[in-house]
Amino acid sequence: MSDGTALAGPDGALRCPWALSAPEYVTYHDEEWGRPVHGDDALFERLSLEAFQSGLSWITILRRRPGFRAAFADFKIASVAAFTDEDRERLLADAGIIRNRAKIDATLANARALTEWSPGELDELIWSHAPEPAGRPVPKTLSDVPPVTPESTALSKALKKRGLRFVGPTTAYALMQACGLVDDHLETCVARRGA
């Protein structure tokens, strides 16, 4: 039983405890989570996947990520924005993704809203909410990692104001963690930047 501190993985390296529950998690944790992500399409993918994850475990999304990418045209904003009613019905029948009508509709609506933004504007908006790293304590245990922060609340409000859906403060914080706006790897974790 973990006390929320970093645990040794199969290779002996210390990692955040959540990363050790499945092989896919180890790879995602070590190579992707907390690493800076830039580019409107890449951020649209992460934002969409975090919205689909709402109420589910991340492993469910991670295991279906290839299916999501195939179903949503690799999350190219312009392509998804052009999806038709037939595409929506195809998505609702696609067993390779999460077939949640509200989340599918939000993803399509978000893509359409983002086509009205200037190139790079999503990247700029999201990254403008990154907190100053020096002001953040380094988490020692999982209980030191908040589910929501003032920055994620502000990001959520900014995204909603610009017409995006399924972007509450908790989803916004998960996005910030996944895309490297914050480094919530535990203090002794092998994947912590500068560790």
Instruction: Give the annotated binding-site residues for Zn(2+).
Output: 16, 29, 185, 189
Token couple for 97: 């993704």
Would you name the residues annotated as active-site residues?
A: 28, 50, 58
Q: What are phi and psi of 150, to 5 degrees?
A: -60, -35
Torsion, Cα of 18, 19, 22, 28 (10° steps)? 130
Q: CA–CA separation, 186 vs 98, rounded Å?
A: 30
E strand or H helix at 8:
strand 7-8
Annotated binding residues, written as ranges, equal: 16, 29, 185, 189
